[in-house]
């Protein structure tokens, strides 16, 4: 993947209240090729971002919160002094949806600004 805007980052999340199946392995593999540095494990994707200091870490956390609010799709985050682990899954369907990959791509775009 190059440093240009990922197509996923230009999309908007769609509300998911359940009733649809999670993505299958082939669909997940296709989406994983569009996001860099993310790890796929079972029913979630995750990535750890490392920063120079606490201030940068918290600025990132706040930016992720803003993206999450706009997309109405929220990750689990584990925050430390100079790092933040972000994990996405779609709880309503018990697995991964396109929304998880859209948000992952949007977060990655923070580093291209």
d(CA 103, CA 83): 18
**Those residues with Cβ within 8 angstroms of residue 63's Cβ, 6 or more apart along the chain or in another chain:** 107, 110
Instruction: Kindly list the structural domains of the chain, giving each domain's residue range(s) and its CATH number in brackets, ordered by start.
Output: 22-112 (3.30.1360.20)
Residue of 79, 87, 86, 85 lying closest to 54 (CA atoms)? 79
Distances from the Cα of 100 to the Cα of 1, 54, 58, 82, 87, angstroms: 18, 26, 22, 24, 9
- Dihedral sign computed on CA atoms, order 33, 94, 23, 43: positive
Tens-binned pLDDT, residue by residue, of the chain (113 aa): 444 568 899 999 988 877 889 999 999 999 999 999 999 999 999 999 999 999 999 999 999 999 999 999 999 999 999 999 999 999 999 999 999 999 999 999 998 76
């Amino acid at each position: 993947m190059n440093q240009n805007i990922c197509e996923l980052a230009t999309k908007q999340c769609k509300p998911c209240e359940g009733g649809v199946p999670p993505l299958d392995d082939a669909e997940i593999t296709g989406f994983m090729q569009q996001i860099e540095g993310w790890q796929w494990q079972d029913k979630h994707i995750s990535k750890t971002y490392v920063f120079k200091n606490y201030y940068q870490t918290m600025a990132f956390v706040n930016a992720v919160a803003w993206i999450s609010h706009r997309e109405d799709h929220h990750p689990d985050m584990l925050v430390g002094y100079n790092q933040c682990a972000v994990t996405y899954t779609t709880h309503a369907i018990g697995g991964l949806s396109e929304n998880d990959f859209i948000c992952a791509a949007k977060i990655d775009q923070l580093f291209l600004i």
